[in-house]
Amino acid sequence: MAEQAPQTNTPPQPDDGKVSETDAQKEKWTVEKALREIPLTPVTHSTSPIPFFHLLERLKTTKREGWRRFDIDHGESISDHMYRMSIMTMLAPSSLSSQLDVSRCISMALVHDMAESLVGDITPMDNMAKTEKVRREADTMDFLCKSLLGRVDQGIAGDRIRQLWQEYEDGETLEAKFVHDVDKMELILQMIEYERTFEGRLDLGEFSGVAERIELEELKVWAEEVLRERGDYWKGIGKESSGSVPIERERHESQLNEYYGKGARNANGSAE
């Protein structure tokens, strides 16, 4: 009878593969950890807005990550994106602007991605749960609006910025729905502009699927116009674009659904 080979591996245990609470805490993203990664840590609880102004510079230098997958390393910054969005809100079609507080929409467009000054630009392709993305952004907005702006003029501006960000995240008001649609619309514009810049050498068609998630009819008209413009461009250079069908469509659709959600989510990550 053959001798049984000695067992060299430790038998599986019930807790194998589980991350301990201690290790999970070490890996957990926090504002404090993010601040340690930047060159200049802002002074907190100041009566001056200057530390806040300095931190905003990161929005000017942090690039939008979605384009970097296509080797567009010198593309738009987060600030670039929010600036054009704010201008677009000023040009809301009259059928819509008559129902909107346009000044609030402009302010919302300018602050909606402010948390990315520390969080960075998280995209659908990052496979991060929506709840985790919202947690990081909510924690960052609390830091910005309370730790940096809480003592500036009794914290009035900080409270307003925090409320505008939360309104956008909740996505319940017409203003928030409009700014969400403008956010998608700005992406579609940038898509065709990069395709033209690279003279058809880049096909960014996977981003055009975002148009299907635009809710307001007035913004659907804008999106349809840009997509027609895109189709004419590709036809004009004698090439066929991919349209909105990425190579891994099911995976891509799942990621977009998680990122944008079927409904807006609040700062606790629950569906509205």
Q: Does 268 map to a domain?
A: no
Q: Does 4 map to a domain?
A: no
Q: Which of 77-81, 123-127, 265-269 has the lowest mean pLDDT?
A: 265-269
pLDDT score of 242? 79
Number of domains in the chain: 1
Q: Does 86 map to a domain?
A: yes
Q: In angstroms, rounded to a whole number, what is the distance separating the alpha carbons of residues 172 and 25?
A: 33
Q: Does 51 map to a domain?
A: yes
Q: Does 33 map to a domain?
A: no
Question: Which CATH number characterizes residue 49's domain?
Answer: 1.10.3210.10
pLDDT tens for 1-56 read: 444 434 334 444 444 333 344 444 457 999 999 999 999 999 999 999 999 999 99
Domain of residue 57 covers 43-62+70-260
pLDDT tens for 80-137 read: 999 999 999 999 999 999 999 999 999 999 999 999 999 999 888 788 899 999 999 9
Question: Does residue 271 carry a pLDDT above 70?
Answer: no
Question: Does residue 264 carry a pLDDT above 50?
Answer: no
How does residue 250 score in pLDDT terms, banded at 50, 70 and 90?
Answer: very low
